[in-house]
Amino acid sequence: MNINVGDRIEMKKQHPCGGKTFAVLRVGMDFKIKCEKCGHEVMVPRNKIEKNIKKIITE
């Protein structure tokens, strides 16, 4: 999967605040993503992110 910093991703499951879109802040073995609704930042392992991505919105 080709995901770059600055891309927006839509996940299958939503964040507890209700948002489904996240901004990608860091890419590597772990992804740092930021919820676009509440601004919460989360570090998630690459395999978990790739499994739960519904759509990639490139900038």
Report if residue 3 sits inside a domain: no
- Domain membership of residue 36 (yes or no) is yes
pTM for this prediction: 0.87
Could you list the residue range(s) of the whole structural domain that residue 35 is in?
Answer: 8-57
Inside any domain, residue 32: yes
Q: What is the pLDDT of residue 1?
A: 77
Q: What is the pLDDT of residue 58?
A: 82
* 28 Cβ neighbours under 8 A, 6+ residues apart: 46
* Residue 7 pLDDT: 94
User: What is the number of structural domains in the chain?
Assistant: 1
pLDDT at 24: 96
The 10s digit of each residue's pLDDT in 4-56 is 999 999 999 999 999 999 999 999 999 999 999 999 999 999 999 999 999 99
* 1 assigned to some structural domain: no
Alpha-carbon radius of gyration of the chain: 10
Question: Do 30 and 43 meet the contact criterion of CB atoms below 8 Å apart?
Answer: yes
